[in-house]
Structure 1
Amino acid sequence: MNKINYLETISRRTSVRNFGRELPSQAVFDQVRIILESVIQGPFGSPLRFGLLDQSSFEMGNLKGNGTYGMIKNARFYIAGALEPGHLAMVDFGYAFEKIILDCTNLGLGTCWMAGTFKRDLFGGNFKLSPTEILPAISPVGLEVRENRLKMKLIMGFLGVRKRKKFSELFFDGQIGAPLDPTTLGPWLQVLEAVQQGPSASNKQPWRILRMGQAWHFLMDEDRVYNSLLAPIKPQDMDLGIALCHFALGAKELNLPGSLQILPAAPSIPGMEKYRYVASWV
């Protein structure tokens, strides 16, 4: 696979819900399988497993009514991922699954994160989950039907699917609630804009980033009720993984210093009690 410009891929990637009957070439599917088989753990070490499922072979039929917003059409193949519950496992999954999504986008394929609205028992059975594994999310994968793109764009616009929080709501400078000044960020601005564009469950974008000196701290503004609706699956933990993925890929692409780390303690400043510390880029 050619080197990927992840910042460009992030900026153009959109969720695809309408797929064509024409299938990607075997060469493309081979590339997808290589991508999936290469991911065995997340950045914090949680074991992960991914695979490609052909729903036409499912015993329970064609999955009518399956999909986010009830709008997934004609998808035959799905990417599925499994993990065993553990500390930061959902964050690891979100990071890894989002990178897979971006790699598939680079291959010209359409995808759509699905964490709540799919037949989990059906997919889990066909993915042959072990007794200790869970299936946090899946994504259809295939070629987009472009003739209905404008119609879908209008519908998604009406539903607010592409709506994102303001820059000042997501990124703080030195203290909670103090917005970063974009004009002072240099190349880091591209990285944070990539994070701002990240998809999230119900568009809640629960991540917050606090810059303190040369360190960037990732915090979660957790909706505890919402995040427990699918327990043991935690969609907002996966959302944090997506934000971390966009940040790390962008920083590495621009050769910016630092790496993902978990500090012994969260920053001790006023206002931190509202947030859950997740990780840092230092």
Structure 2
Amino acid sequence: MTQSGVRRSGTESAAPRARGSALWRLKVRLQFTGWLQYLPTVCIALAFALVAAAGWVIGAWPVILFWLPAGAASLLLVTFVFDLVTVKLGLHPVEAVPERRDGLGAFDLMRARRSCRSFQSRDLAPAHRTELMESVRAHTRPDRLIGSSPVRMEYIAAPLTVWPVVGAHEFLVAIAPRTYDRLAVVDVGRSLQKVVLDATRMGLATCWIGPGADQKSVVQHLGDRFDPEKDHVICVCAVGYRSRFMPSAIRAMQTLQHRRLPLASLFFADPHFREPLDVTRFPWEAYGRCYEVCQWAPSSFNGQTTRCAAVVEPNGGEERPVRFDFCASTTSRYYAPVALGIWCANWETGCQELDINGHFAVLSPGERGVQGAPELPRYDVSWVVDHPATT
């Protein structure tokens, strides 16, 4: 996934020296003119061609030094031409509009959602756009947020300068107050992820975009809907219909990124994050696939920066869950809290599917009963279990 805040600072930005280099400027130019996606295929093909040329000159082991690399170079060049014709020039058969996924349960829906790197050229149908914006309004209502700062999502129908996504021309831009409010950034992640899940049920494809979005392009297309004195663009989400035609290099990158840390590295049974949580034993097994959908939640560069500590209390000789503390494992001011918000959305959606009641709350160290906790992971918010009142 290409996700997180457009605004970058500290460890989230490239070194100024690198940004000023000619190589960096060339990379950015290729990236935002839509050619960088195709260059890896050409570069690898040229490398094989050079090996084949060297093998021809050497004259030894012709199968290994000439025919194999020459064949690989030819295959890659054919692939490049195919990508150029079908994706860059858009010369391919008309693709169908994907079907809705109303029949999927919440867990299967969350697992079915995958970042889309290539979109069809067709615009969203009016009915889909209307339903999408209804979802936006529902999930950004003040009473639906964890924090007190407003967040909003603006719809843009324009070919924003983004990377590595191709063909995207409709977007949701997530905006929070310019004055930094970490909880507002968490709310952006949580609210937008719920919109993304609604879009997935509609059959729409989505892709979170952060560092791959050009800030100037986004602000320019927002026009008077963006006030630089008050607003802060947190991230962008492309939305549309998935295309099966995609640059080969992006397809390979997507395949390599489809990996996740084990649950034992994400969920813990103590506030110091030393003891992995055994999600198969009582009482944690009651939360079923909630762990899985958080494990597979999108995050910037698939960094998986969110951690969770589960807390129990005695209950008639047994233990029962009290809350789940969600924390960020890095000092990131934007990427990590957005990813944490996405976890919150998936966790909450999963618990609703299981009829487990709870609510989000920001608790002080005293309320959490935590002393001497490490600086990282950094606590952000808790999901508190709503147990039935006892008489």
Name the TM-score class by shorter chain.
0.7 to 0.9
Q: Secondary structure at the match of 1:274?
A: coil
Structure with more helix by fraction: 2
Q: TM-score, normalization: structure 2?
A: 0.62
* Rounded Cα–Cα distance in structure 2 between residues aligned with 1:273 and 1:142: 40
CA contact (8 A) 1:109 1:141 kept: yes
Match of 2:377 in 1: 275
1:199 counterpart = 2:298:
yes
Residue 119 of structure 2 aligns to a residue whose secondary structure is coil
Say which of 160, 181, 190 aligns to 2:289. 190
TM-superposition CA deviations, 1:197-243 (whole Å, max 9, x none) = 11111222111111110221111111x3xx25xxxxx1111111111
Provide the aligned C-alpha RMSD in A: 2.3
Q: What pairs with 1:257-268 in structure 2 (closer than 5 Å)?
A: 257-265=357-365, 266-268=368-370
Distance 1:124 1:5, change over 3 A: farther
Counterpart Cα distance in 1 of 2:249 and 2:301: 21
Contact residue 17 and residue 73 of structure 1 kept, 8 A: yes
* Deviation (angstroms), 1:165: 1.1
SS of residue paired to 2:121: coil
> How much has 1:245 moved relative to structure 2?
1.0
- Show the 5 A alignment for 1:7-26: 7-26=107-126
1:101-129 deviations in whole A, cap 9, x for unaligned? Answer: 11111111111001111111221232221
Instruction: Specify the alignment match of 1:139 in structure 2.
Output: 237
Query: SS state of the match for residue 277, structure 1?
Result: strand
Following the alignment from structure 1 to structure 2, what is the Cα–Cα distance between the partners of residues 36 and 4?
21
Distance 1:82 1:155 in 2: 29
Q: How does 1:83-122 map to 2 (within 5 A)?
A: 83-84=176-177, 85-122=180-217
* Cross-structure match for 2:13: none
Single out whichever of 140-149 and 179-188 deviates more from structure 2: 140-149
TM-score when normalising by structure 1: 0.85
1:52 maps to which of 146, 155, 180: 155
- Any runs of at least 4 consecutive aligned residues in structure 1 with deviations exceeding 6 A, and if so which? 1-4
8 Å CA contact retained: 2:146, 2:361:
no
Q: 1:256 aligns with which of 352, 356, 368?
A: 356
Give the alignment partner of residue 253 of structure 2, picking from 150, 155, 172.
155
Give me the whole-angstrom Cα distance separating, in 1, the residues matched to 2:135 and 2:189.
16
Alpha-carbon deviation of 1:153? 4.5
The verdict on how the C-alpha distance between 1:124 and 1:6 changes in structure 2, with shifts beyond 3 A counting, is farther
Q: Which residue of 2 aligns with 1:218?
A: 326
In 2, Cα distance between the equivalents of 1:259 and 1:155?
37
User: Secondary structure of 2:290's match?
Assistant: helix
Tell me which residue corresponds to 2:141: 40
Q: CA deviation at 1:149?
A: 9.6
The whole-number CA distance in structure 1 between the counterparts of 2:197 and 2:353 is 14
3-state SS in 1 of match to 2:209: coil
* Structure 1 gap segments, 5+ residues each: 57-61, 229-233
Match of 2:276 among 160, 171, 179: 179
Distance 2:141 2:248 in 1: 38
Return the letter of the residue paired with 2:141.
Answer: I
Matched-pair contact (CA < 8 Å) for 2:182–2:337: no
Moved more, 36-45 or 243-252: 36-45
Q: 1:37, CA displacement in angstroms?
A: 2.7
Answer yes or no: is the 8 Å Cα contact 1:195–1:246 preserved in 2.
yes
> Does the CA-based 8 Å contact 2:146-2:183 persist in structure 1?
no
Do the aligned partners of 1:45 and 1:92 also contact (CA within 8 Å) in 2?
A: no
Contact 2:157 2:170 survives alignment (8 Å)? yes
Letter in 2 for 1:221: S
**Structure-2 separation of matches of 1:45 and 1:279:** 14
Q: In 2 relative to 1, CA 77–165 (structure 1 residues): closer, same or farther, beyond 3 Å?
A: same
Aligned to 1:231: none
Asked whether the 8 Å contact 1:33–1:51 carries over to 2, the reply is no
Letter in 2 for 1:250: G
- Partner Cα distance (1:271, 1:49) in 2: 34
Task: Assess if the C-alpha contact under 8 Å between 2:293 and 2:347 holds in 1.
Answer: yes
- Structure 1 equivalent of residue 54 of structure 2: none
User: 2-side partners of 1:29 and 1:258: how far apart?
Assistant: 31
